[in-house]
Amino acid sequence: MLYLWLKALHIVSMVCWFAGLFYLPRLFVYHAQSEDAVSKERFSIMERKLYRGIMGPAMIATLIFGIALIYLNPSIFSQGAWIHAKLTLVVILIGYHHMCGAQVKRFARGENTRSHVFYRWFNEVPVLILLAIVILVVVRPF
C-alpha cells in the first residue's frame, strides 16, 4: 500500500512540476515581448515566484518520491532498459529546469538577449520529454 501512495504522490508532484515547466517559458515569451518597465518587473516577479515557489518544490518532491519508489522496488532495473532511458530523460529535465532558473535571473537583471521566438521553441522541450517519459513508462518498448 505504501508503494501505491508513493506512486500517486510521485505522479501528482510530477504534474505540478510539468505545469511550471510549461508555463514558465510561456512567461518568457511574454516577457521578451514586453517593452515597458512595469510589465518587465511584473513578469520578473511572476517568473521568480513560479520557479521558487512551485517548480522547485515540485521537482524536489518528484525526485524524492521517485527515489523512494526505486528504493522499495530495486528490481525495476531488471525489467528492461526503459527505466534507464526514463532516468536519463529525468536528468535532462533537471538540466532544463536549471536552465529556466538561469533565465529567470537574466530577465530579473535585464540581461535577456533572446527573442520571443526562441522561447516559443524552448517551450516545446518539456512537451517532448513528457511524451517520451509517458511512452517509456506505459508502453515499456524495450
Binding residues: 10, 86
- Residue 36: phi, psi to the nearest 5? -95, 155
Cα–Cα distance, 18 to 35 (Å, whole number) = 28
Per the annotation, binding residues for heme are: 10, 86
Cα–Cα distance, 5 to 128 (Å, whole number) = 27
Q: Is the dihedral of CA 113, 118, 124, 128 positive or negative?
A: negative
